[in-house]
Structure 1
Amino acid sequence: MTTPCIAACKNAGGICSGCKRTIDEIVSWKELDERERAKLMSELAGEISTHTCPSCGKPAQCDIAAGKSTCWCFSVEEREPMLGLETESCLCRDCLTKQPIA
């Protein structure tokens, strides 16, 4: 089974600091089929994105912008808003992980 795990696991407020999956994504990984796993791995790698991160400019993914009813970030701990960042766009997983938990 393919996996983005790099064996550097640490829970950073609901996001693994190693592979950047949410805890929910890690737990449900074995239930996903290969196509779903490949899609999520492409999103994690920035190969599939809906926009650029307003903080760092790297590819970012918003599941709502991609047509889903909820976003992956709804399952992580709420973060403090970024000072000076006036935007509706989601942060990338790296930038969101660095934000202090509210």
Structure 2
Amino acid sequence: MVFERKMLTTGDPEDEEEDASEEEEEEEEADLVDPLETIRAKCEETEHCVHLKERLELCETRVNSKSNTTEECTEELFDFLHARDHCVSHKLFHNVK
């Protein structure tokens, strides 16, 4: 068997084309935006979600102001996430191709 050795030089135009195409691909990937994040942000601005987020923030403020408490804001967090995800579920699959 005969093996050919191909010597690459630093000025090879083929290498420059490959590097340029890799850079273009990386730029395209950087420009992509996750539609889920966009829809979540829009849903968090709805009246129902804003109200639940305020309740969550009030609970967190109350809990953080106490040094010794067993209170947690789990219920408020779950209520907010449920409302946001419910809103997202109605909008997300219209944007997925």
More helix by share: 2
Looking at CA atoms only, which structure, 1 or 2, has the larger radius of gyration?
Answer: 2
Shorter-chain TM-score above 0.5: no
Shorter-chain-normalised TM-score: which range? under 0.3
Normalising by the residue count of structure 2, what TM-score does the alignment of the two structures yield? Answer: 0.24
